[in-house]
Structure 1
Amino acid sequence: MHRPRFRPLLLTTTALLTASVTALGVPMTLSAQTLNSYGMPGAIDTPTAVAPAEGQFSADVSYSDYGRRVTTSFQVLPRLTTALRYSRIKGIDPNRDALYDRSFDIQFQVFEESGWRPSVAVGLRDFLGTGIYSSEYLVATKQVTPSIRVSGGIGWGRLAGAWRRTDYNDEGGKPKVEDWFSGPARPFASIEWQATDKLSVLAEYSNDDYEPESDADGTEPPDGRLNLGVNYRLGDTYQIGAYTIGGDTFGIRASVALNARQPQYPSGLEPAPAPVRPRPSPAADPDGWSGAWSADPTAQPAIQTALSTALAKEGQVLESMSLSANRAEIRIRNTRYPIQAEAIGRAARLMTRALPPSVETFVITSMKSGIATSSVELRRSDVEALENTAAARIAQRANILNAPQYPGDLLASPGIYPKFSWRLAPYGDIGLFDPDEPFRYELGAELSGRYEILPGLILKGRVRQRVISTQKKKAPKGYTIDEYLALDSDQRTAENNGVPRVRSDTRMFAGNGGPTVPELTLAWYAHPTPTTYTRVTAGMIERAFGGVSAEALWKPVDSRLALGAEVNRVRKRDFDSVLGFQDYEVTTGHVSAYYDFGNGIWGQVDVGKYLAGDKGATVSLNREFANGWRIGAYATKTNLSDEQYGEGSFDKGITMSVPLTWALGTPSTQRVTGDLRSLSRDGGSRLRVDGRLYETVRETHSGKLYEGWGRFWR
């Protein structure tokens, strides 16, 4: 193997992947989950029909003289494997010293292995990207003995040794459906022998002749079709491997994996809830059962104070309460539990301990951003009788209702509003996949504050001070910083194929030595009818834009369908001044439809006008596991031509959100979020508004509540 010129980036990326995955939780074993050099189930270069466990997230790094690849893959559904890959191939791109390629893979397992029948899968490799690795395949895999697994299949494209030549003047990024399963088709095969519990030996027959890599820099093509390799597992966390391609070119790879469905602390570390307190007999407490206590004006304040204190110990805020002889409603803000059903279950237990015996109906209303989003109605007798049974039984007795907006008999708890909170914590920003600078980062300190003036009226902001950073202020290609600052927005648009620069000059916001204010907003949330919600946000909405954003959402509590509309009038912020603006101003807006398909899967379609003035639609699909892990994919297509949009042709990417409680065990509503996109361009860019309504209310509506109802008695 030649001297690695890409080693610093390779080692940095490996360290980042390892650190990020390890920090999130305990990874799962890769036993029977061998990944190939493309980061997908396979041997060395060829695929297998093995499907990793549902929810498995893997990060894989491979290196040989033919290229370097960093791949993240995710098992979205039991049979569906997806991957996003970032590769570097030297000498192949006439416009740069190396091709920094982003590509997507997908594999679907048609049949699982059963008896004499092998598992069978169909896959597309690099179906969104430049097409440098473009290939399709059908593959079957069979476990012939406990230690030997064989696979065989038919491949097209690169897997058949038929490279579909890439046009580097093409913007790329679009699926070339007409090429799928076309051209020569040739067989491939592999065998894996599990020599020990940790060591496996691999052999495969592959037709990939590495033509584009060989043509690019004079690297010799493989001498033969036989590839050999070994994989070694380090505990249950990592896997490393070495392989030969054609017998004369060597490569190495490393993998790390975790599973969204297997947290480090499955039972959590939160204290056990208070037990349900059965009511005394009517003979033991005749006044309590008669309801005569409700005539005492001091009764509700005393009960409300006691219940508020008990809920506070559970990380919940009792915002208000209504109480009569036989019915009690409490409105709670959950600040601790990532699954709302657990917060509701703990509140119900405490109500049995605080309320007089005559109160039979419990109503627990969830509050989000100062508005009531849903109500769960329970019979106290059911809570008492079903405490030690399966949570499904109490779910059958519960009613999930649209929360009434402003009942007149609610008594607000004292001292809830106004409320100020703040937090000082480190922050980190990482930039990936930029062809001209593949990896950059910024680390610093962030001071955030939140002032809840009234229910639904929230002032909040963030101030950042960088400490170390590789992100330097940089003007778009062809300009110095001073030259770019001298242009007005019309001039910047004219030289950018007529497309306003709304994201492609984001690097101009970087490199500030002094404090920056990424966000400073005043938001007003309201609940005008039982099934509609509204939001108005004004101020410095995001780092690049400030202005006003207004949104309305129709979402009945038990409906799978939700409809929304948003309109924004924003202006581009100054690159250096904390509160200044530039001369670019735009009105954007979308109408949106959301649909919950069940099993933690929901989709979203947004149609409207984007920040650059282009018009089109965004389609996204998301999967959320019961423990809060989320992963999604999206694509945006607007009326901009491929040339106007630039490299990638249209916007697309992957989003991920991991609840901290998954990794730490202790309950927390905080999450770590991020997105991986092929490129950040101007077309299809939407305003980044915090606290959009669907995400605000979805957590407490029936679909999400029932998915997490297993934690009701936790």
Structure 2
Amino acid sequence: MRRRTWHGCCRTALALLAGGASVVHAQEAFTQSDFGGVGLLQTPTARMAEEGEFSFVLSRTTPYTNYNVSMQPLPWLEGSFRYTNVSNRLYGPRSLSGSQTYKDKSIDAKVRLWQESRWLPAVAVGARDVGGTGLFSSEYVVASKRAGPFDFSLGLAWGYMGARGDIANPLDILSDRFSTRPTGGTGTGKFSVNKFLRGRPGFFGGVEYRSPWEWLILKAELDGNDYKHQPQNNNQPERWPVNLGAVFRLNRNVDLTVGYERGNVVTAAINLHSNLATHVDPPKVFDPAPEPLATDASPPDVPPPPRAAPEQVDWHAVAERLHENAGIDVSRIGRRGSELVIHGEQQRFFYTAEGVGRATRIVDRRVDDSIGWLTVASERNGLPIVETSVHRPRFVELLDDRLSLADFRRSVEQDPVTSREEQVLYRAPLKRFTGGTSLGYQQNLGGPDAFVLYQVYGAASGTFNFSRNLWLDGVLAVNLANNYDKFKYDAPSNLPRVRTDLRQYLTRSDVTLPNVQLTGTRRLGQDLYGLAYAGMLESMYGGVGGEVLYRPFGERWAVGADVNWVKQRGFRQDFFLRRYHVITGQATAYFNTGFHDVTVAVSVGRYLAGDWGSTVDVSREFANGARMGAYATITNKSGSAGYGEGSFDKGIYVSIPFDMLLPHSSRSRATLLWQPLIRDGGARLNKRYTLYTLTNDLDGDLFDKNLEKIRE
């Protein structure tokens, strides 16, 4: 049983990959192999894609069809995950999966040891299928060297890629155990380290030729595999071990590859790719234009309002304009001498600098020169987060190109929110109710019932605010279309079924309440935040819980903890509760290493099945807010018969701001999560709100890296 991975995100991700916006290339773009990851056809090279590259490759080499997703989170690290459809083997007994063909899943990784120099080649090491069945497992070392338009590669591989076994294992000198490679799979989801570097290795390599035409790349490859001795006894004819191919670059986001492999098979692949780090956002044609400054010429039909002293300004009208044009839901407006303070929550612009710049323009057109500083005191769900102050005259100089962005930055202050004496000029009435409707999509991949199980649903959401720090919200979902009639398999489990009853939750009712909860927030002290909640907290659990977070202003670290008493919900996702209940929660430490903006989060605590353990999450965030990451959870049930298939919980994810994809600004994200299996061990409560996310505006690095947005 596979996790629901895309929730309304597939369409936006494909739009990104298909070239919905232009991409700036800072270096030569290398092409992907049939297995995903930079390479020739069947084999990898020592080359790496551009930092931030995200690729989807669909390739067909009879009898295998590969669905690959590859990511380049760091300049020297490549990660891939893959589903392989073996078209001439059944998934399992016909009583279980009917005529569905076999699906294999795997995780690959490649690390560059050093870059190419004048005399030395680039060298990389890697492994395929380290987190799957081990069916196609392989380890390798490969070197690449360029000579004009030719890029030569040569490598040595153990396992599937080197199954021809050209030489005795050089590691035999260390131990006889390296002489023989264990046969058979390792079990779905386990790391197959017991096979690493064992058995006779084979050579592989080849050459890539970049033709005078930018749209054409030619490849020739020596394949180290032995197709006459394939896994699952799926032996294939092979005339010679040389593969030939051509890559046609249809545009900067789409590559088409055709090849002739094994001397008897025509192959094809399509690669949709984009760079998340250098992605250029589409024009925001549906955003309102920023207001001109008071000194700028106004359109004839929009005469500038008269500038007045703060006490004489219509602040209700200003608050409405701040909401419409700057995206700020104002709670109050105050004055501290020559400083005007706008308290509110940014609801539209992903980059807070953009909202601050628009707010400064609005104030500049309405308030006289007695105000020299504008401060936006950012709030999130009633929590004061950070104050961003702009020196008004220098902001005018920036927009008039009389001041550089670097010099302007020295006049921008970001400070923690502190209690200070303030003259209240305006206090906004509380908006009691907000709501909306949307379409959603969810799917499960790779199960025995069908490769893709999907649902399209309509959702209505609503929030009733008792105060700015206390609200009741919920979601009502209605099934519109699905193929869950094929969803019949429940995976075995030796633990309490805290997640593996997924089929029941998805198929019992067409109308569900995935979430209905009462939530409260409070600032408990300087840099200390609190969150409490009760209700139907997620689709499978209801209960009560709380969280605290200490996140010092200006620091790269934070610590927090949550504790929850939850009870399992009925399968119809209404207000009925089942008998199973548990106390669960984790203490978590977050640390931004400062190395390529890599953040490590380590959690320790109790999970839904009552098991105790730890989760490590490592992610890379790029300057524009896009993020790539991976996580693993080890508990006292991991690796044991109690956990079952998969050994331990793990996953890879990509989180993309909708702002990168849409023609209007948005603070929402599209998150694509790939989890090989959903099991009961290491399962966490899927909370709707977390304090670390609610306090994201404390990320000063994201503000600084996107300060140019303050002009927009």
Cross-structure match for 1:156? 158
Specify whether residues 370 and 412 from structure 1 end up closer, same or farther in structure 2 by C-alpha distance, changes over 3 A only: farther
Q: 1:73 aligns with which of 63, 70, 78?
A: 70
Q: Quick one: distance in 2 between partners of 1:51 and 1:581?
A: 51
Corresponding residue of 2:378: 366
Deviation at residue 691 of structure 1 after TM alignment? 1.6
Q: Structure 1 length as normaliser, TM-score?
A: 0.86
Q: Counterpart in 1 of 2:268?
A: 252
The answer on 1:104 being equivalent to 2:100 is no
Of residues 653, 665, 673, the one that matches 1:655 is: 653
Amino acid corresponding to residue 539 of structure 2 in structure 1: R
**Residue 261 of structure 2 aligns to which amino acid in structure 1?**
I
Shift of 1:527: 0.9
- 1:153-212 Cα offsets, whole Å, 9 max, x none, are 2222222216944544x5353334454334433322211234444333321112111366
The worse-fitting range, judged by mean Cα deviation, of 435-444 and 116-125 is 116-125
What's the CA shift for 1:93? 7.6
Secondary structure of 1:354's match? coil
CA contact 1:21–1:27 (8 Å) conserved in 2: no
Structure 2: how far apart are the matches of 1:255 and 1:466? 33
Cα distance in 1, alignment partners of residues 630 and 421 from structure 2: 40
Q: Which amino acid aligns with 1:216?
A: N
1:302-341 to structure 2, matched below 5 A, reads 302-314=313-325, 315-341=327-353
1:658-677 CA distances to partner (integer Å, 9 max, x unpaired)? 22221223211122223111
For residue 541 of structure 1, what is the aligned residue in structure 2?
537
**CA separation in 2, counterparts of 1:84 and 1:110?**
21
Distance 1:536 1:200, change over 3 A: same
After superposition, the Cα gap between the structure-2 partners of 1:568 and 1:410, relative to the gap in structure 1 and judged at 3 Å, is farther
Q: CA deviation at 1:335?
A: 1.4
1:457-536 pair list within 5 angstroms: 457-472=470-485, 477=490, 496-497=493-494, 499-536=495-532
Q: 1:363 to 1:665 in 2, by over 3 A?
A: same
What does the per-residue CA deviation read over 1:231-272, in whole Å, with 9 as the maximum and x for residues that have no partner?
A: 323333322223333212343222111221344546644455
Matched-pair contact (CA < 8 Å) for 2:334–2:340: yes
Q: Is the 8 A contact 2:17 2:253 kept in 1?
A: no
Deviations 1:376-418 (A, max 9, x none): 2343344344443333323223232211269675465333x13
After superposition, residues 340-489 of structure 1 pair within 5 angstroms as 340-387=352-399, 388=401, 389-404=403-418, 409-410=423-424, 413-415=427-429, 417-472=430-485, 477=490
Code of the residue aligned with 1:644 in structure 2: it is G
Which stretch shows the higher mean deviation, 553-562 or 696-705?
696-705
Q: Please tell me whether the aligned partners of residues 448 and 489 of structure 2 are also in contact (alpha carbons under 8 angstroms).
A: no
Q: Offset at 1:125?
A: 1.7
When structure 1 is superposed on structure 2, of 262-271 and 78-87 the one drifting more is 262-271
Instruction: Give 1:605 deviation, angstroms.
Output: 0.8
The aligned residue for residue 3 of structure 1 is: none
Which residue of structure 1 aligns with residue 611 of structure 2? 614
Which amino acid letter does the alignment assign opposite residue 247 of structure 1? Answer: G
- Root mean square deviation, CA, Å: 3.1
Kept in 2, the 8 Å contact 1:25–1:664? The answer is no
Counterpart Cα distance in 1 of 2:20 and 2:580: 40
Counterpart contact for 1:132–1:164, Cα < 8 Å? no
Paired AA for residue 107 in structure 1 = K
Q: How far apart are the structure 2 equivalents of 1:683 and 1:625?
A: 32
From the superposition, tell whether residues 164 and 442 of structure 1 become closer, same or farther in structure 2 (CA, over 3 Å). farther
Q: Does 1:627 align with 2:644?
A: no
- State the SS of the aligned residue for 1:510: helix
Q: Which residue of 2 aligns with 1:213?
A: 230
Which whole-Å CA distance do the structure 1 matches of 2:265 and 2:561 have between them? 56
Secondary structure of residue in 2 paired with 1:434: coil
SS of residue matched to 2:711: coil
- Partners of 2:275 and 2:58 in 1: CA distance: 18
> How many pairs are equivalent?
665
Q: Equivalent residue for 1:282?
A: none
Q: Tell whether the 8 Å contact from 1:433 to 1:679 is kept in structure 2 after alignment.
A: no
User: Residue 509 of structure 2 contacts residue 572 of structure 2 at CA under 8 Å; is this kept in 1?
Assistant: no
The counterpart of 2:48, out of the listed 46, 51, 57, is: 51
- CA distance in structure 1 between the partners assigned to 2:520 and 2:269 by the alignment: 51
1:207–1:620 Cα change, 3 Å: same
Relative distance call for 1:621 and 1:412 in structure 2 (3 A) is farther
2:135 to 120, 132, 135: 132
Higher deviation after alignment, 637-646 or 230-239: 230-239
Relative to structure 2, which stretch is displaced further, 309-318 or 679-688? 309-318
Quick one: distance in 2 between partners of 1:500 and 1:637? Answer: 17
- Residue 239 (structure 2) pairs with residue 239 (structure 1): no
For residue 542 of structure 1, report the CA deviation from its aligned partner. Answer: 0.7
Amino acid at match of 1:253: A
Q: 1:328 to 1:80 in 2, by over 3 A?
A: same
- Residue 308 of structure 1 aligns to a residue in which SS? helix
Seen in structure 2, the aligned counterparts of structure 1 residues 333 and 41 have a Cα distance that, compared at 3 Å, is same
Give the whole-Å Cα distance in 1 for the aligned partners of 2:331 and 2:76: 45
Choose from 641, 644, 647 the match for 1:646: 644
Tell me whether 1:274 sits opposite 2:291 in the alignment.
yes
Residue identity over aligned pairs, in percent, reads: 29
Question: Structure 1 residue 19: deviation in Å?
Answer: 6.6
Deviating more after overlay: 106-115 vs 547-556 = 106-115
**Cα 1:25–1:581 shift into 2, 3 Å:** farther
CA contact (8 A) 2:130 2:137 kept: yes
Indicate conservation of the 8 Å contact 1:372/1:405, yes or no: no
Gaps in structure 1 of 5+ consecutive residues: 1-13, 280-287, 479-494
Aligned match of 2:589: 593
In the alignment, is residue 121 of structure 1 matched against residue 124 of structure 2?
Answer: yes
Q: Which residue pairs with 2:301 in the alignment?
A: none
Cα gap change, 1:477 to 1:454, in 2 (>3 Å): closer
Q: In 2, distance between residues paired with 1:93 and 1:183?
A: 28
Letter of the structure 2 residue corresponding to residue 660 of structure 1: F
C-alpha distance in 1, partners of 2:283/2:201?
Answer: 50
- 2:215 is equivalent to residue 202 of structure 1: no
Letter in 2 for 1:159: M
Distance of aligned partners of 1:701 and 1:404 in 2 relative to their CA distance in 1, 3 Å threshold: farther
TM-score normalised by length of structure 2: 0.86
